[in-house]
Amino acid sequence: NAGVTQTPKFQVLKTGQSMTLQCAQDMNHNSMYWYRQDPGMGLRLIYYSASEGTTDKGEVPNGYNVSRLNKREFSLRLESAAPSQTSVYFCASSEQIRLGQTIYEQYFGPGTRLTVT
């Protein structure tokens, strides 16, 4: 049981290049999320997927696209990277721990450290 895995672990891009960050979970969770983490700003939600086949914007979606390929996999794509997208990106999945209540617990991957020059 690997939990949440992310690839790659590190990436350096030039401005304007594109790339896809991969995420997979083996916990059979319905919901998955992409966050970015910047110093002093905590974690900010980029996109989330409530279930297979659905995706929705989070707090900071501009410049990103996502694909929920199946229940296990949720990818994040940068079409034209910009220096402002230099950050650490985390994927997470969650399970509802109490039926009938909005109480979920999220599990995070190890992160992708992206630098855009």
Partner 1 sequence: TQLLEQSPQFLSIQEGENLTVYCNSSSVFSSLQWYRQEPGEGPVLLVTVVTGGEVKKLKRLTFQFGDARKDSSLHITAAQPGDTGLYLCAGTDSGTSYGKLTFGQGTILTVHP
Which residues here bind partner 1, judged by CB under 8 A? 4, 30-31, 33, 40-45, 48, 50-51, 58-59, 90, 92, 94, 96-98, 101-111
Whole-number minimum distance, CB 11 to partner 1, in Å?
15
Task: Give the nearer residue to partner 1 in terms of CB position, either 17 or 75.
Answer: 75
Whole-number minimum distance, CB 60 to partner 1, in Å?
12
- 30 touches 104 (CB < 8 A): no
Task: For Cα atoms 48, 108, 82, give the angle at the middle one, nearest 5 degrees.
Answer: 60
Task: Give the nearer residue to partner 1 in terms of CB position, either 81 or 90.
Answer: 90
- 20 touches 75 (CB < 8 A): yes
Closest CA to 111 of 10, 43, 30: 10
DSSP 39: T
Whole-number minimum distance, CB 16 to partner 1, in Å?
28
